[in-house]
Amino acid sequence: MPISRTRRTGAAVVAAIACVSVTACSGGGADDGADYPTENIEVIVPFSAGGPTDTVTRLVADPMGAELGQQMVVQNVEGAGGTIGAGEASRARPDGYTLLLHHIGMSTAPALYENLPYDPQADFAPVGLVAEVPMTIISRNDLGPTTMDELATYIQQNQSTITYANAGVGSASQLCGLLLERALGVDFQEVPYDGAGPAIADVVGGQVDFMCDQTTNTSGQIRGGEVTAYAVTTPERLESLPDLQTTAEAGLPDLELSIWHGLYAPAETPEAVISKLEGALQTALADEAVANSFSDLGATVPAAEDQTPEGLAARLAEQTALWGEVISEPVG
């Protein structure tokens, strides 16, 4: 299992002490990626442990580490819709020993935050797309509606009192809620949480009425009958939840959303390092155990051409432009 801890130690400290001159730490050696990696690699997840992005990260961390010959150490740096962790990663030394695994929030942050302390496209070197994860619309079991059509009518009739849980500003659940409001022509009551875990826990417990979240976070509760499930936000039904209709089938064709996750290094990371990381990622995604785990959670492995720096860069640019039009008011 990948491990979590706060900072690199041991070999990293030895390496830092050894770098007593500019000559010793530049050119021809570790900086050009020729010997990479020689120590553990830290992967920043900008959300809480146990959440959807954390789950995706841990599924690929072990096989990537095995391919690279070093441990992938997962570090959760949560807060501010993922911008704190992403900001920390953007300021890390571009040597391949600090990476970022982030979701669609990389593309929405420029529209959501007026004073974003980093540029998602300029301050990062893409490695590759990691996963595509659909969203599911669920509610507390005693809400009343049993189909998506009934839920839509219920929301429209009770928009001033119904409560919608999300994992905070910039979270996948907040974005899905925004699209749902537009699709239904309503403005319901949002209840933000510090992470997806506590949000879905309160839906299960009946403290809030409903939410929309990634299958990596809801599949267990749906299968266990802990919540009422209405629809999945993909064009086709999921093999893992075959009885769950799509939003298009429910009469909401504009409510289509896939939460993609990408792996990044700080800008100016050597090309040789990026290449090794890209190869390790592709090896991990080709692992049958990883693919099966993704499938069990409703997630899918991206197409081969997307598991590349070019593929992730294109997705980030396209989605940044898209969400810049959808999100009209930044939060600060």
The pLDDT tens digits of the residues spanning 189-228 come to 999 998 888 999 999 999 999 999 999 889 999 999 999 9
- Token digits of residue 149: 């059509």
Determine the CATH number of domain 3-132+260-326: 3.40.190.150
Instruction: At 321, give phi and psi (nearest 5°).
Output: -65, -40
Spell 133-166 as b/e; 16+ CB within 10 A means b. Answer: bbbbbbbbeebebeebbebbebbeebbeebbbbb
Give the global pTM.
0.81
In whole angstroms, what is the distance from residue 23 CA to residue 318 CA? 41
Question: Any bridge partners for residue 41, and if so which?
Answer: 72
CA angle 39, 92, 290 (to 5 degrees): 55
Sketch the domain layout of the chain as residue ranges: 3-132+260-326, 134-232
pLDDT above 70 (res 69): yes
Domain 3-132+260-326 and domain 134-232 have a common topology: yes
pLDDT at 30: 44
**Residue pLDDT, tens place only, 279-320:** 999 999 999 999 999 998 889 999 999 999 999 999 999 999
pLDDT above 80 (res 254): yes
Segment 229-242 shows an average pLDDT of 92
pLDDT at 329: 54
218, 173 in Cβ contact below 8 A? no
In whole angstroms, what is the distance from residue 134 CA to residue 260 CA? 9
Of 261, 257, 256, 315, whose CA–CA distance to 290 is shortest?
261
pLDDT above 80 (res 28): no
Q: 144 pLDDT band (50/70/90 cuts)? A: very high
The domain defined by 134-232 folds into D-Maltodextrin-Binding Protein; domain 2 (3.40.190)
Percent of the chain past pLDDT 90, that is, above it, reads: 72
Segment 84-97 shows an average pLDDT of 98
pLDDT above 90 (res 90): yes
CA angle 268, 271, 273 (to 5 degrees): 95
Segment 16-39 shows an average pLDDT of 58
pLDDT at 328: 67
pLDDT above 90 (res 18): no
Of 215, 216, 217, whose CA–CA distance to 200 is shortest?
217
Question: Any bridge partners for residue 192, and if so which?
Answer: 166
pLDDT above 60 (res 62): yes
